[in-house]
Structure 1
């Protein structure tokens, strides 16, 4: 009877996650991917760090050695999301020339925040995430401004450094503002309308 009960319990118990025995860098990437899924699905308050560890195939102690609390994990995920977004943006504008690169960067930045559910939570819709990542959002604005300005310089922008940085920062903040307060005319938020707006009003700021 005891053996049958033991077998029954074993049969009904959920299968153990396969332990992730890869390099520390690969484990960290798995943790960030698992955390991104968890934060996207349930937000900060309900996110379960144990579930993240299980999904990544690492122990609680391994996760906590790298990320001592949930806030630290969220900040790392946000940084990872931002970095991936920047690489996408930079790759998309290569070879377009400064003005067209600015237009495309503006449109892609808007679409990324709209389309990526986690990025949208971080930047726009989740008050708890915004509270935790507020300092990172400011840093994000600075980093994006610096990198977009550098990309525009590579694409031929000739204006003074400070002027270029200020112009790009305006564009970055406009993207966030546009998305935080959606326009009443939804057609103006469509990609081509966004590009037309950037071409008409923003591209002339770059020379």
Structure 2
């Protein structure tokens, strides 16, 4: 008999928060490959290499997994937006430049993370609410920093309107991205949002006029 014994490899014990991160990562891969409707908890468990019981211990349902994933993506997007706008603030960027850069990052997010926006369109049990809430919270804070005289509720409504326009336009564009180049899409959104913000400011008596950067002002469409 051999003096050596083969020992079964034990699964590494992780802190619950670390385990949740790995499970959400696995869910992202499964959703991206199979779609929300086509993904089962068994698929996520297999993707993560864990027993289904362990998955249910951390997430009671697929909707809970999707909510955790979208909450993370909302926080990541807000962090990127905060970093870029802070850089613009340091360079004395204008409010029009801040709006333009925010919309640019949004379009980049849509174009580079198609799977996430497929999930947004499904609206699975309100799973995208954390994502939307995080983005709206950030935009509301930026509006209040530019126009501190308006109240928080009004700023939140304006942020919701901007968010709805950006989502609707980019969702339509993503279905036919060849119809209009990305830079023209950005110019269209900038013109619409800046014009809307100026109209809102005027109606509220706020002495603030936004001007889009010269590179994103209205120009004739290509023939």
TM normalised by structure 2 equals 0.68
| Alignment deviations for residues 106-157 of structure 1 (CA, whole Å, 9 cap, x no partner) | 2211221232022121123xxxxx2424x24455434422211213444x34
1:164 to 116, 132, 155: 155
- RMSD across aligned positions (CA): 2.9
Q: Is the 8 A contact 1:75 1:136 kept in 2?
A: yes
Structure 2 residue 91 is the aligned partner of structure 1 residue 99: no
1:45 to 5, 21, 37: 37
Structure 2 residue 144 is the aligned partner of structure 1 residue 147: no
| Structure-2 residue corresponding to 1:122 | 119
TM normalised by structure 1 equals 0.73
What secondary structure, in the 3-state scheme, does the structure 1 residue paired with 2:72 have? helix
| Structure-1 residue corresponding to 2:213 | none
| Alignment deviations for residues 4-34 of structure 1 (CA, whole Å, 9 cap, x no partner) | xxxxxxxxxxxx9983422111111000001
| Structure-2 residue corresponding to 1:113 | 110
Q: How many residue pairs align between the two structures?
A: 184
Shift of 1:104: 1.3
How many angstroms apart in 2 are the aligned matches of 1:53 and 1:184?
34
How many angstroms apart in 1 are the aligned matches of 2:32 and 2:155?
35
2:193 to 175, 197, 202: 202
2:58 to 62, 66, 76: 66
How many angstroms apart in 2 are the aligned matches of 1:196 and 1:108?
13
Q: Is the 8 A contact 1:148 1:168 kept in 2?
A: yes
Structure 1 alignment gaps of length 5 or more: 1-15, 125-129
Q: 1:131 to 1:167 in 2, by over 3 A?
A: closer
What secondary structure, in the 3-state scheme, does the structure 1 residue paired with 2:136 have? helix
How many angstroms apart in 1 are the aligned matches of 2:11 and 2:136?
40
How many angstroms apart in 1 are the aligned matches of 2:176 and 2:54?
48
How many angstroms apart in 2 are the aligned matches of 1:17 and 1:173?
51
Q: Is the 8 A contact 2:64 2:127 kept in 1?
A: no
Structure 2 alignment gaps of length 5 or more: 1-7, 199-207, 209-223
Shift of 1:48: 3.9
How many angstroms apart in 2 are the aligned matches of 1:146 and 1:67?
26
Q: 1:18 to 1:104 in 2, by over 3 A?
A: farther
